[in-house]
Structure 1
Amino acid sequence: MEFAFNEEQLMIQDSAARFLAQASDSHAVRTAMARTDGHDLALWQRISDELCWPALMIPERFGGLGLGFVELAILLEQSGRHLLCAPLFATTCQATPALLLASNPAVQDHWLGAIASGATATLAFASQAGLEADSVQAQAEPCDAGYRLRGSYLQVIDGAQAQLLIVAARTPGSQGEAGISLFALPADSAGVVRTALPTLDQTRRLARIELQDVQVTPAQLLSEAGQGWPLLRDVLHIAAIGLAAEQVGGAQQALDLTLAYTAERRQFGRAISSFQAIKHRCADLMLQLECARSAAWYAACVAQERLDPAGDAAVAGELAEAAATAQIHASEAFFNAAAESIQLHGGVGFTWEYDPHLYFKRARASEQLLGSPALHRERLAAQLFGESL
């Protein structure tokens, strides 16, 4: 596949880079890290009202821009490069794809329009570690009014601040992929308890969410009751692809910081960037980064076909494989670039005043956010041997 941005995509990339270079510079990131909620509401309003990033992938009939996942991936790469502290990833890569793939028009009409106008959203699914159907342990007990939800969710991205929760729960007694349903739940619903969690990466906030007898109606279902796992599985793959694009941006910035510092740092009368050992290490990082970028952009094209109702079904069928491949390469490229950045900065690489430690923390946290490289290798192997992911 030959891949190149068109003129419109290049304009999106350029405008995002210019905006974030100013709005999400090192000072802004560190200021957001010190905030209780982890992001600046005024910045999110600018992103929503002026730039319309949350509306990018939403069809025009819901008030969105009607663009695709590739355009979103362009924004995600720049947001990862600048460590944007905002609920962009959870809203656009988790909640929005779930709503786009939903089969309930009423839920789509209400919430896609709200997100296009700036509402924040996230996905809560795992009650225990894992990305498989068995990680969904919250219960959806049928009752007269619809369902009563009970259970808890771990490590929900921006869960303490989101206005909409897409939650997964299973019918009591069901196991595996059967009996899982997805619900659109306003975060201020009675019985929802949200607790912010301390995190290694302070630029991305996580929360624990508990549902204590939360009443929901069948009208809040995203798809047919008990048949939500195929939708949730694909949403997790799409989110992993979005995360890979973000990781590529972070890896690029970590490498750029390293190149800039080694060009200035002098030892034995010359810049250390002139030493062959330094050149080899930077060249290895660049090779890893370019492999990750190729995998991420191909996966973004596959995700776009999956989200497009008229997309190529054969290409969309590669979603699981493309997501696993992108995550393997992007996670490792980002972590290695961030780790080498600290090493090649020397003693100052460990200090708070320099930025490499911010990228190292983001790289390590992102590596585990939607599955480690080892897990994705296992899933990819299962796919290659004909097993279902």
Structure 2
Amino acid sequence: MTLSDELGAVVRAYLADRPDATWQAFARDVGAAGLLVPERYGGAGCGPAEAAAVAEELGRALSPHPFLQSAVLAVGALMADGDEDARARLLPELASGAATATVVLPDDGDLALADDRLSGSAPYALDGEIVLVYTGGHLVEAEPTRRTAYPTMDETRPLVSLTFDRAPVRRLGPGTSWARVRDLGIAALAAEQTGGAARCLEMATEYARSRRQFGRPIGSFQAIKHKLADVLLLVESARSAARAAAEAAAAEAAADTEAEADTEAEVFAAVAGSYCAEAYLTAAGENIQVHGGIGVTWEHPAHRYLKRATSDAQLLCPPRTHRARLAAHVFGEA
């Protein structure tokens, strides 16, 4: 069993035993908040593969913990573009769970930096106490002038609108590595989507074994068998795509040739971002179909997975955008 497998098993057991644990408790007991933080800043010093293992279990449990935005994107941004002062000041807080952070990427809004003042808005951002923004070729920290929470369809994934009205900024470093940070986040999100899809398959399979019609389990009917077999193929393929994206992100961080590493990581991230999002949507939909009427009731959790799959499919670019990025590598810019 690999370190990633062991970590995933620990997280699964913890979430099953303490489903209502706070982010601070989760960070303290499991160390997930500081997984990507180097040991000198109070973290575990692990890599994208271990982050993917945690993300998969969080997705399986529909956890609302801010792992993606704080432990992956924010830590990734600080490690890629933050200067030493920024890392020493922010990473220990993030690693301990004492604070959470979020990252606004260049495509996330209409933000403009002038005279160390930030103006504009990011209409849909993951929520975090500390806001890091890529803008004007820099990574900056800024306090939003206005922060508005949305009543989202997926209540396990809080989104906010961030507005900046000439808000003063603190420059943290160059903003040249934002694409790397995005791809790291896509790899973690793909793992999370895989975990959700796998749980949908488990629920559908369990129900197909126990629900009886015409004197036998519905899982014995060919139509149900084919549905479950198709979802199994999607889940296993999604897991392979997500792990490949995480491995490419790890190789990118350790590569000697930066250009080649960037290209490979972007390709694998685009594949995972496209495939895993649609696999999750299909698995969540088929889970409801197998359950029939009970699958659309408020009391059954199946609808919650469909909502998460739907919101995740728009996070960090929808599948069509990932395919467009992939096409540029496969067919060239033309």
Same fold (TM over 0.5): yes
Corresponding residue for residue 16 of structure 1 = 11
Distance in 2, matches of 1:317 and 1:381, equals 13
Verify the 8 A CA contact 1:137 1:169 in the aligned structure 2.
no
Matched, 1:201 2:150: no
Secondary structure (helix, strand or coil) at the match of 1:149 reads strand
Secondary structure (helix, strand or coil) at the match of 1:212 reads strand
Corresponding residue for residue 141 of structure 1 = 114
Corresponding residue for residue 176 of structure 1 = none
Amino acid at match of 2:212: R
Matched, 1:156 2:120: no
How far 1:125 moved relative to its partner? 3.3
Corresponding residue for residue 184 of structure 1 = 141
Corresponding residue for residue 37 of structure 1 = none
Amino acid at match of 2:278: E
Amino acid at match of 1:50: D
For residues 294-305 of structure 1, what are the structure 2 equivalents within 5 Å? Answer: 294-305=240-251
Query: Alpha carbons of 1:192 and 1:308: their partners in 2 closer, same or farther (altered >3 Å)?
Result: farther
Distance in 1, matches of 2:262 and 2:318, equals 23
Corresponding residue for residue 280 of structure 1 = 226
Query: Alpha carbons of 1:315 and 1:149: their partners in 2 closer, same or farther (altered >3 Å)?
Result: closer
For residues 266-345 of structure 1, what are the structure 2 equivalents within 5 Å? Answer: 266-308=212-254, 314-345=260-291
Distance in 2, matches of 1:306 and 1:65, equals 19
1:214 aligns with one of 156, 162, 167: 167
Query: Alpha carbons of 1:378 and 1:312: their partners in 2 closer, same or farther (altered >3 Å)?
Result: closer
Amino acid at match of 2:287: S
Deviations 1:309-332 (CA, angstroms, capped at 9, x unpaired) = 779874453111010100111111
Corresponding residue for residue 167 of structure 1 = 133
How far 1:136 moved relative to its partner? 4.7
Corresponding residue for residue 256 of structure 1 = 202
Verify the 8 A CA contact 2:71 2:95 in the aligned structure 1.
no
Distance in 1, matches of 2:320 and 2:114, equals 35
Verify the 8 A CA contact 1:192 1:212 in the aligned structure 2.
yes
Which structure has the highest helix share of the two? Answer: 2
Corresponding residue for residue 175 of structure 1 = none
Distance in 2, matches of 1:312 and 1:256, equals 40
Structure 2 residue runs of 5 or longer lacking an equivalent are: none
1:360 aligns with one of 281, 298, 306: 306
Deviations 1:111-151 (CA, angstroms, capped at 9, x unpaired) = 1121112120101236xxxx4xxx55211111xxxx01111
Deviations 1:45-64 (CA, angstroms, capped at 9, x unpaired) = 11111211111111111111
For residues 113-124 of structure 1, what are the structure 2 equivalents within 5 Å? Answer: 113-118=92-97, 119-124=99-104
How far 1:387 moved relative to its partner? 3.4
Amino acid at match of 1:151: G
Query: Alpha carbons of 1:375 and 1:316: their partners in 2 closer, same or farther (altered >3 Å)?
Result: closer
Amino acid at match of 2:275: H
How far 1:379 moved relative to its partner? 1.2
Corresponding residue for residue 32 of structure 1 = none
Query: Alpha carbons of 1:311 and 1:259: their partners in 2 closer, same or farther (altered >3 Å)?
Result: farther
Distance in 1, matches of 2:333 and 2:154, equals 34
Matched, 1:66 2:48: no
How far 1:16 moved relative to its partner? 0.8
Verify the 8 A CA contact 2:124 2:159 in the aligned structure 1.
yes
Corresponding residue for residue 173 of structure 1 = none
Scaled by the length of structure 2, what TM-score is found? Answer: 0.94
CA RMSD of aligned residues (A): 1.9
Distance in 1, matches of 2:257 and 2:77, equals 17
1:78 aligns with one of 57, 61, 64: 57
Q: Percent identity?
A: 37
Matched, 1:53 2:48: no
